[in-house]
């Protein structure tokens, strides 16, 4: 099976949330799930709110990331987590 590159968009509950703490916890959850975070981006949304985008690689044989999304969305200070992009890795 091939590897897939997945982007999670994580929305904090408020602009005051420490995104570095959320990033650390979410990255650990992704590693435990079998993924490897390669890139982290911060995307300004509105009124000081910044979304955290974690781009990671995992084997597609692992299946759906739905359970991982739920775990991250249930984290303290996180409003939501959703897959915003999925691509097959080439090479």
- pLDDT at 32 > cutoff 90: yes
pLDDT at 91 over 70: no
- Residue 58 CB neighbour total at 10 angstroms: 19
Cross-strand partners of 78: 12
Q: How many CB atoms lie within 10 A of CB 46?
A: 7
Confidence of residue 90 (pLDDT cuts 50, 70, 90): confident
Mean pLDDT of the chain: 95
Residue 56 tokens read as 């990671």
Task: Please give the model's pTM, rounded to 2 decimal places.
Answer: 0.93
Tell me the C-alpha distance between 76 and 63, whole Å.
26
């Amino acid at each position: 099976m091939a590897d897939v590159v997945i982007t999670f968009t994580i929305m904090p509950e408020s602009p005051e949330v420490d995104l570095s703490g959320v990033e650390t916890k979410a990255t650990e959850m992704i590693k435990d799930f079998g993924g490897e975070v390669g890139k982290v981006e911060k995307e300004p949304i509105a009124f000081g709110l910044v979304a955290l985008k974690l781009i990671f690689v995992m084997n597609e044989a692992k299946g759906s990331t739905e359970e991982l999304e739920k775990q991250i969305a249930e984290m303290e200070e996180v409003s939501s987590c959703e897959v915003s992009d999925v691509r097959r890795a080439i090479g």
